[in-house]
Amino acid sequence: MGGGLRAEQKCTQPRMLVPPALPRRVFLRLDFSRYNPAILIFSGSLMHTDPYLWLEDDSAATRAWCAEQQARTAAQLDADPRFAALADEVLEHLRDDERVPFVEAHAGWWHHFLQSPAHPRGVYRRIRPDDYRANRDAWEVLFDLDALAAAEGVDWHLAGIDHCTERPARCLLSLSADGGDAACLREYDLDARAFVAKGFQLPPGKHSVTWRDPDSLYAAVVLSEADATASGYPREVKLWRRGQPFAQAHSLLKAEHRALAVSAWRMLNPDGGEPVDIIEEALSFYRTRYWRVLPDLSRQALPLPPKVDIDGVVAGQLIVRLNQAWGDLDAGVLLALDWQALCAGEIDPLPLFTPGPRQSVDGALAGRSCLFVHVLDEGVSQLWVYTPTADGWQAQRAPLPGQGQLEMVDQPWQSNVLLFGYDDFLTPSTLYWLDADDASLTPQALRGQPPRFAAEQMHAQLRHTIAPDGERIPYFVVARRDAPHDGQRPTLLYGYGGFAVPMTPFYLGALGRQWLEQGGVFVLSCIRGGGEFGPDWHEAALAERRQVAFDDFLAIARQLIADGVTCPARLGIQGGSNGGLLVAAAMTQAPELFGAVVCEVPLTDMLRYTELSAGPSWIDEYGDPADPAHYAALAAYSPYQHLHADVRYPATLVTTSSSDDRVHPGHARKFTARLGELGQPVLLYQSDAGGHSGQGGDMRQLAAEVARVTVFLYQQLMDAA
């Protein structure tokens, strides 16, 4: 992640480390360490070599092979008579001026990053709240990414904008030349509409940089291999003062090379009290050591368990979420700790919210004198407001428009206001304003997106199936009300199932027109490995237990067929990144269940994933191939090694990006090559820009990618007689 992407110093810590992908919304864009990597497994045998190891390299041969695959894909998908019209329709949706501009509040202005036909890369702009509420077009452009790209001859992608809370006109811009995670850093003055002369700046790298105050930064920087951990993230965090060469910045902590990363941030107290400065030393993806930065810049270890998230400070109380049991407290509990007592080594946690068996705390934001808490209950959002009083914390639930998903958009500094978005499968996105100082806690709608499809003709249902081990697995089914129950409906099953990321209802937008109105069914799976029901739900499919997630997904597929929703020839599956691993495993384990597979930016070679890009950072999630026990579990399902010559696999579309520096494109290339060798129906599309997420780049490119997937699903699931 680029520097400053999530440096929300006023309320929460930056999240520098990321899973293979936060799942892309459907149609919108989720001693073995020394083994010879050429000796791997195919079809249960250890005697074969890996003939496609060369596709991990960015060589002329690899580029030529990819170009050949692109041509095959274009001949089948781009040449389809429906492709151009679909791409235009998706582009219209992406450019839609009626889309809700989600804003962040700074110093009396509301800020928004806009991509449009006139500004395909985007402009950063601001508006006064009264003009926004009145829907007046009174935006002021502050930064034009297209103009910068033209002036410098670089295809810049915006990776992040971080305002200095105490001087909001000063920003850190993170700019990526190809959409990858590595980004350069430049300081920008919004009032002057110019980069700051001799301001803070860094060359490209996987940095984590946040404001400490207007004249200093907490900077964890990767400028060379020596600066990086084995996962490629920063291993040293420094206090960098204005005008100071970075080499002279004061070192606060330097982690071991085997650690995952380090970062630091400041949480300001809106009442003027002392700020809270934290160093986060990520020992692995889920284990963290937290340090307090003392006034003399020495550090003090905080007596917190290793699996905990810090969400902010309210009224002198540190707000944390437990991802493991701690004493008498269960994993998943949200609690408050007196900050001064904690610093003195006294631990007296006060539970604020204890989730039930089908609940989880999805996030929390600290206001001036309250705490906003997002709870998931059976995958549906709830919003709670906690207020400290003389008699303890008071909890009040705020009403939401329906049974959908909440997105915390912004918590304006020195206020008890929350800006949040709401949508569900059939309800367009709307931006709301909630003032916790209003006793009624009634959200006010600010802007809403017009409907994109005939939702009154559709219905959404929460259903359950039983996994092989007896667990009850939820999934959502969205379809036309008048659809026949003949077992022949084209159905798209989407999944992720990893990194504690929950799958929740979201507006289907263009998918409504392109899929539901055409008679298709959409299914969203909520399988283990995700975060729908808290840490236990996630850990049930962790590391050597990964097969549990695949079993849950396959159980939903079988249930859809058994209930007469669809049949194997009409059932397609889609997933990106970790979800790409999911669908690749599903198609290798039960190919007879599916008619089509969309496998986006996937991991597929789980015996080599730690050797590629950011792979080592995910050992907590998948296990370590260097550990014999983990190796056995990984080898049992690694999709690349489980493609058999005597099996017929469903038609597969694999996507990746040559600029993906998170999940290496070699995974997608090798999986495609092996399927092609076996004579299987497979297509590969590799973009040149957009990195892993595919966002922030050319809107035409994104629209074409969406249209390509849609045409593929039409051809495989709808066109069949």
> Which are the catalytic amino acids?
577, 692
Beta-bridge mates of residue 435? 417
| Cα dihedral value 348, 352, 358, 359, nearest 10 | -120
Q: In this structure, is the dihedral angle defined by the CA atoms of residues 140, 145, 146 and 149, taken in order, positive or negative?
A: positive
Q: Match 């991991």 to its residue by tokens.
A: 603
Written as six digits, the tokens of 174 are 């993170």
Q: Nearest Cα to 643, choosing from 611, 604, 686?
A: 604
3-state class (DSSP) for residue 270? coil
Alpha-carbon span 548 to 200, nearest angstrom:
47
CB 547 within 8 A of CB 528: no
CB 681 within 8 A of CB 654: no
Alpha-carbon span 402 to 78, nearest angstrom:
39
Q: What DSSP string describes 605-641? A: -TTTGGGSTTGGGGHHHH--TTSHHHHHHHHHH-GGG
Q: Is 425 exposed, middle or buried (0-12, 13-18, 19+ CB in 10 A)?
A: buried
Angle at 115 between CA 77 and CA 407, to 5 degrees: 95
Q: 422 CB contacts (<8 Å, ≥6 apart)?
A: 381, 400, 401, 402, 404, 405, 406, 407, 429, 430, 432
Alpha-carbon span 370 to 441, nearest angstrom:
12
Alpha-carbon span 541 to 529, nearest angstrom:
5
Burial 677-697 (b: 16+ CB within 10 A, else e): ebebebbbbbbebbbbbbbbb
| Cα dihedral value 631, 632, 633, 638, nearest 10 | 70
Angle at 561 between CA 559 and CA 562, to 5 degrees: 60
17, 174, 222, 225, 543 from 2: Cα distances, Å: 10, 6, 11, 17, 28
Alpha-carbon span 127 to 103, nearest angstrom:
9
Angle at 318 between CA 317 and CA 319, to 5 degrees: 110
Q: What DSSP string describes 669-703? A: HHHHHHHHHTT--EEEEEESSSTTT--SS-HHHHH
137, 140, 410, 455 from 134: Cα distances, Å: 9, 16, 20, 27
Written as six digits, the tokens of 220 are 């964890």
